[in-house]
A and B are shown apart, each in its own frame.
Chain A
């Protein structure tokens, strides 16, 4: 990042402009003390150099910030890309709350890290060295005092900072976890209220916040200790320089300067450079927390951006809709969920003729949902082969031709129409809305997760959404009539059969009425 480096160097330059400014201040006081000189021009010079410093500082900050902001955008893009490429069956998939927290508010910590900590680090390596050389030209003893105080600082800070980083990483994790926890609890507020557990839950949240406080304070006490060490050395360094210079001027300590006693001007100049020598280190310490939070945030983003353990199968080629109902052939299919004891599917075989309607029956947990997910190309099977359509293509290449209806349709805050369309161009949701959701107007607002809809309505919405594209020749439905009353279940069944006319249909169900309407029943 050249812009970032140039900006950081500009800030170094701004810090170094203090040298001529301090020289002018010292000259002014020496002039008042009797050395004389153009005092008012000294004052004007002090102001002019100060203005120059402010300008260089501001410009440098802007350059560094812009580069840092662009870097954050790139990081977020990588993380979002990886999240989208993860299979829904990946058990290591981050919870949506935690992922969004890492992506949104936690990632904001990257900015102070890149725009404040990094330049501060450069300043803290360059500026003290230069100032030390300048002080050395005036008094070797004063330079020695600073030299002795300075190297101890990075040493202490490194020791203290290491522990602060570990603690801070743990804390970041906990903040993400706590956000997820709150989101999770507020989503189920109705249940919490029904169980009179508001009080207990509130106390648990309080306990979580208190534990966060304890952890934060553990981090902060150490982080503050590092800045206290620095502050102490900086203060003592200035104090020792002042005391030495004072005694030197009195004639008590004659040594330490080049060629006899320093004048007032050089002495004040040395004193003014002493705090500036420590200032970059203090800035670095102040940005230390930015570093810990920033590096933890970068690590979280990197973790999100890491290649998923179970990736969505890539669609190798987008296939144009052929407009016909495809047949399905499953051979030797095997799948085991990560961390599960045994395979949920092992050597499974199934053939579905084009246009055939098949029901999958089986106990809960027998693998019906997994089979449907594999057929939809949500994950690649570990063994065996799925071939769909006359060309025997893999599911991932055919997602556009599959109508998917999950157990709980994912619904989003927005209008009914928006939930039906999901932004797909060229589709008209009206016929299917009228067929399946006649009571709900298209502009009916829907809450997150389908809040405000009954279970039946949510399911019908999901069905209407799935069968919207006319080219979707294969319908995969996971328990479509669960949660519906008899009349609605009949309606949905009728609608499903209507939608499935000329399409292939495979559904998992416990509903004997629905199963009886299929051409064939397969037991799992």
Chain B
């Protein structure tokens, strides 16, 4: 039961967001059920009473048929209206909560710390995210609403029967609530393990499905396509097992509740006979007991969902308590980027990669960073963009635009991909940027597939460049800007990159052409600056010459 604690926080979060609508939904639900109970009970009483009155010749004339008759019809209409209102209000409230949750969670996930974990397993974490959000959906609709309705029904039915005989008034709620709430609680606990296995299997099915489709070529060429297909189906087999276990439990709970209901009805029959109640009251008590069992049946599915909802809540709550990231420090006037005594040890590394690294880039300066693989060039960029956080030392930089090594494009129109960099840009500006990047042939309306599928490596690169060009940032961070571009296009693009006045650039480069317009070249080796050459000073030409031609 302790596992269910996070649910409380979710409920209070929901209440703070849409408490009013939620309460209205629950009240309407209770009203609908109660109207149904009253309808049946009143009808039973009415028929029995009229039968007895009809036996006496004058009885029919004395009997007031108006009130019960009108009451029965009124209850019929009330039940319908309340049911419809409850459904609409409760679902709308739930979906509004979910929409708000999605946004809040995305913001939470966009923090540097979480973003890094996410970057390693986006499919798995995202799937959890959407499953968890869906699970919270059922907390209100399947748990709170039917729970409130069932408890209200049991209590009101108890009050009504207490007017006939206090023993019935105590006995009925007790006989309803004990199995009616006890079984769902037992079920929530018993189903927890199967629900967890089910969630894991569904996740595995999902992740392996993504791997199968996204990595189809790799599996195919390795001759492992059938094996990966079987891996997907193995997850499905585990899912089937867990589904079946859950259904077994749910059915068992239903069976026990059905048996308890049979006992309750038989017991009520015995009680009304033993108490010697008048027949109309006996009919009312029996029919109320019959109708009051109905709302408890709905609780079983809620109980199955309870464990899921609690786990989802436990996983999501930390992300939702996200604090906005601290704004980046701005460097002093005339400096575009300043690193001072930077110290950073990558996760899992024994020694720091950077130990006291300091570096200044003046506004308008074009700095090229060279160095072998593993020298720390990519990590340096990660630190600058806030993807990694240094253990000590200062980072101050102007607003910047990044051209990353792995081009990240999105399933969206070309326009949508460009607008990411400049939300306010009009089509003319976008088209101009495309042309500058050498993509004039493409339409802004053409749609890209997942991760920008549909473009060649060169086109992807150029589209990413267009994004950077669009970005009106005083500092550009370029990670191998012209890799995979043919010589002519690369030279065109580089010419554009170097032409803006006052534009500071930090470019990680391997190719000579990318370094040719540098004001300064530094060489990074094992996190240390081992060489620095300024344009026009000794060694600059030699430093250029050491780079890969192209």
Contacts and interface: CB of A to CB of B under 8 A. Distances in A.
Interface stretch (B19-27, B204-212, B492-500): B204-212
Contact of A43 (B228, B261, B270): B270
Contact of B258 (A54, A108, A246): A54
A203 interface: yes
B378 to A, nearest CB: 6
Interface string A434-461: 0000010000010111011011110000
A205 B103 contact: yes
A147 interface: no
B65 interface: yes
B106 A202 contact: yes
Given A187-B451, A412-B215, A486-B510, A232 B125 contact: no
A484 to B, nearest CB: 7
**Dominant SS among interface residues on chain A:** helix
Interface residues of B, number: 168
B153 interface: no
A479 B236 CA distance: 38
Nearest to A56: B258
A350 interface: no
Interface stretch (B7-15, B170-178, B180-188, B271-279): B271-279
B221 A195 contact: no
B63 A33 contact: no
A72 B244 CA distance: 12
A28 to B, nearest CB: 5
Interface stretch (A260-268, A324-332, A498-506): A260-268
Contacts of A242: 42-43, 46-47, 72
A30 B454 CA distance: 78
A447 B100 CA distance: 29
A306 to B, nearest CB: 15
A247 B75 CA distance: 18
Interface in B439-472: 449-451, 453-454, 456-459, 467, 471
B483 A483 contact: yes
Interface stretch (B311-319, B357-365, B402-410): B402-410
Contacts of A268: 44, 47-48, 283
Contacts, number: 510
Interface string B283-295: 1001100100000
A263 to B, nearest CB: 7
Given A39-B273, A365-B456, A32 B79 contact: no
A32 B251 contact: no
B229 A33 contact: no
Contacts of B411: 95, 180-181, 184
Interface in A483-524: 483-489, 510-513
B87 interface: yes
Given A220-B87, A312-B220, A238 B40 contact: yes
A465 to B, nearest CB: 7
A86 interface: yes
B283 to A, nearest CB: 5
Given A95-B450, A96-B214, A487-B373, A228 B80 contact: yes
A80 B232 contact: yes
Contacts of B251: 58, 61-62, 65
Contact of B131 (A28, A54, A73, A105): A105
A148 interface: no
B423 A213 contact: no
Contacts of A449: 122, 214
A44 B46 contact: no
A209 interface: yes
Given A25-B269, A482-B457, A47 B263 contact: yes
Contacts of B236: 73, 76-77
Contact of B378 (A238, A407, A424, A454): A454
Interface size class of chain A, counting residues whose CB lies under 8 Å from the partner chain: 35 or more
Given A58-B254, A235-B39, A479-B484, A454 B373 contact: yes
B548 A232 contact: no
Contact of A399 (B131, B223, B421): B223
A83 B420 contact: no
Interface string B479-494: 0100111110100000
A414 to B, nearest CB: 9
B282 interface: yes
Nearest to A402: B221
A33 B206 contact: no
B54 A249 contact: yes
Contact of B486 (A103, A115, A363, A447): A363
B445 to A, nearest CB: 14
A194 B106 contact: no
A439 B374 contact: yes
A184 B451 CA distance: 6
Contacts of A187: 122, 408, 451
A410 interface: yes
B73 interface: yes
Contacts of B385: 190, 193-194
A239 interface: yes
A185 interface: yes
Given A103-B205, A105-B206, A457-B373, A209 B48 contact: no
Nearest to B74: A239
* Interface hub of A58, A200, A312 (most chain B Cβ within 10 A): A58
B534 interface: no
B225 A84 contact: yes
B216 interface: yes
B237 A88 contact: no
B541 interface: no
B175 to A, nearest CB: 12
A333 interface: no
A191 B408 contact: yes
B540 interface: no
Contacts of A198: 106-107, 110
B224 A55 contact: no
A100 B223 CA distance: 22
B5 interface: no
Nearest to B87: A224
A353 interface: no
A189 B113 CA distance: 12
A1 B378 CA distance: 59
A23 to B, nearest CB: 13
A212 interface: yes
B123 interface: yes
B202 A105 contact: yes
Contact of A376 (B79, B221, B420): B221
A225 B134 CA distance: 24
B240 interface: yes
Nearest to B71: A239
Contacts of B211: 412
B401 interface: yes
A358 to B, nearest CB: 18
A217 B119 contact: no
B130 A54 contact: no
Given A413-B124, A479-B484, A186 B255 contact: no
Given A197-B423, A246-B50, A424-B224, A57 B254 contact: yes
B95 interface: yes
B203 to A, nearest CB: 8
* Interface hub of B103, B266, B410, B471 (most chain A Cβ within 10 A): B266
Contacts of B80: 228, 231-232, 235
A100 B209 contact: yes
B373 A422 contact: no
Contacts of B539: none
Given A29-B283, A84-B225, A410 B510 contact: no
15 contacts: A33-B48, A50-B265, A57-B258, A83-B209, A95-B449, A104-B209, A182-B126, A183-B122, A184-B410, A189-B118, A193-B115, A232-B76, A239-B75, A250-B60, A448-B123
Given A96-B123, A104-B202, A455-B406, 12 more contacts: A39-B269, A43-B267, A77-B236, A220-B87, A235-B79, A250-B54, A400-B223, A404-B221, A445-B120, A449-B122, A451-B121, A485-B373
